[in-house]
Structure 1
């Protein structure tokens, strides 16, 4: 469905239903970040259902990850598949440690960079505002540090591993006034200038730019092993973001979500679809499970 973003959005939410994944991941290792709740949890559950040999839940809180592991095992009746690893995207050191640990894996076939935040509260994490650190810089850092293992897997097993980023349709809603500044990151880190109602949208726009550039650089690198890098829009999905709304905004959000939003499970199918996508999806934004604008 083509057309202006609002029309495409209505089609996506009211007409299109992401298909259930069918491709098997037998013998493969999959890592999903931010997978103790929401889209990440449901995507990880799909990978377990689809016969992955190992599914790693990379999460900030180990206890919550272990709870998610038990939930997946109970629903899929598969044990000995899910592992819980520590990954806190607010800490560059945690990101580095997680990628370092992955070097010890026999293989890494799919890496889903799904974790992220949405908040209206300004807060610095590392050297950037929290959305920029958590939604843009840290996922990119983790991906870059993990690329050698993905390439190694490609060469060793004659496969094409996938590096998938969860982005959002909200990129086209970004006003991104900071783009006019000489130093964009410095401006985004200035609390006095911050438009926090726009910050999530901006982070998703910057995420798209970053992933496209990463895909270009990977193609140009000519290094041994082939890795497909793509990014997707899961649509508007039921999540716990409702806690950010109050009063009339809360009521409006609840009513509109009940009309338009996909269930978390249905939304998670778009993530697994991106992992299924072929080499022609490299560097592409997947909307409604196919390349979009």
Structure 2
């Protein structure tokens, strides 16, 4: 593996793997300008990928597309409206993808929600688990045929260090048995599910040459933190810097965080490590970064 690290930028990685990226069709979910998905889309377009920008809002998709076009006027970009919080909307988006002429070479499941107050989807599923896992699970499985048309398809699932906080509450996905709803437990179990999903995809499609990876991108102050309170920041950090940002070694720039997306999607040296989890642009099995319950397909029942 090329030796990237926590301070490598997405653009650096994209240029290193330009030959692998050029002319590939990449579908990225969650592309709000200023976030990881938008930065990944920018650098992929910069080196010649065809990028499908998927998100809930047409306005936000176009804002990101316009930003990319200013830097790369020749960028080939396409729009896809995708609301992971509604299974009906997911099915509608997937149906559009299945009508595409070209295969999907790489699917980057970047979209999600974090730290929201308690809520449920129209299907009655806790909002964070439904959006971060169920929506991604359903969308990926529905568009598998377009991935399998590609020569060497990959699926990249954006998980989180938050999986360290909890296994999946298999007997209480909606956290209704809890005395009080804990938004971080809700988020954490959805991220554990993301990792296990990548592990199962890797196993299930290994004979079809589909590779799957999950990763922790690193923490950064994007729109994903909009729901966080001062108490939430204190839970994650060691206090405050003079500029008002939280202290701690978990803070990265958006450019550094998105580098993980590009490594997982295109690094040829990890092709024999399908199912792996990446942190700071490196495959890891270190228990400090990856809980055993998220690295074992035979997942133990959660015990509180």
Q: 1:205 aligns with which of 192, 195, 207?
A: 192
Q: 2:274 aligns with which of 272, 282, 287?
A: 282
Q: 1:262 aligns with which of 246, 249, 252?
A: 252
CA distance in 1, matches of 2:251, 2:205: 35
CA distance in 1, matches of 2:61, 2:259: 20
- Contact between 1:113 and 1:139, CA under 8 Å: does it hold in 2? yes
Q: CA deviation at 1:243?
A: 3.0
Equivalent residue, structure 1, for 2:17: 23
Structure whose residues are more often helix by fraction: 1
Q: 2:41 aligns with which of 14, 39, 44?
A: 44
Q: CA deviation at 1:16?
A: 3.4
Larger CA deviation: 267-276 vs 99-108 = 99-108
CA distance in 2, matches of 1:113, 1:140: 10
How many aligned positions are there?
264
Aligned pairs (5 A) from 1:179-258: 183-185=171-173, 187-188=174-175, 193-219=180-206, 222=207, 225-247=208-230, 252=239, 254-257=244-247
Judged with a 3 Å threshold, the aligned counterparts in structure 2 of structure 1 residues 280 and 195 are, in CA distance, closer, same or farther, namely same
Query: Any gaps of 5 or more consecutive residues in structure 2?
Result: 286-304
CA distance in 1, matches of 2:203, 2:137: 14
Q: 2:51 aligns with which of 32, 51, 55?
A: 55
CA distance in 2, matches of 1:236, 1:148: 33
CA distance in 2, matches of 1:101, 1:217: 25
- Contact between 1:55 and 1:83, CA under 8 Å: does it hold in 2? yes
Judged with a 3 Å threshold, the aligned counterparts in structure 2 of structure 1 residues 113 and 242 are, in CA distance, closer, same or farther, namely closer
SS at match of 2:246: helix
CA distance in 2, matches of 1:28, 1:177: 35
CA distance in 1, matches of 2:201, 2:144: 11
Q: What TM-score, normalized by structure 2, do the two folds share?
A: 0.79
Q: CA deviation at 1:117?
A: 0.2
- Contact between 2:112 and 2:132, CA under 8 Å: does it hold in 1? yes
Matched, 1:84 2:74: no
Judged with a 3 Å threshold, the aligned counterparts in structure 2 of structure 1 residues 211 and 248 are, in CA distance, closer, same or farther, namely closer
CA distance in 2, matches of 1:151, 1:247: 45
Aligned pairs (5 A) from 1:56-75: 56-75=52-71
CA distance in 2, matches of 1:170, 1:247: 18
SS at match of 1:84: strand
SS at match of 1:57: strand
Matched, 1:122 2:118: yes
Q: CA deviation at 1:190?
A: 5.7
Q: What TM-score, normalized by structure 1, do the two folds share?
A: 0.82
Matched, 1:272 2:262: yes
Equivalent residue, structure 1, for 2:296: none
Judged with a 3 Å threshold, the aligned counterparts in structure 2 of structure 1 residues 212 and 61 are, in CA distance, closer, same or farther, namely same
Deviations 1:129-158 (Å, cap 9, x if unpaired)? Answer: 0111110111011111121111112xxxxx
- Contact between 1:59 and 1:65, CA under 8 Å: does it hold in 2? yes
Deviations 1:29-75 (Å, cap 9, x if unpaired)? Answer: 111001123000000111101111x2110110011111110011112
Q: 1:145 aligns with which of 142, 147, 152?
A: 142
CA distance in 2, matches of 1:189, 1:60: 28
Q: CA deviation at 1:189?
A: 5.2
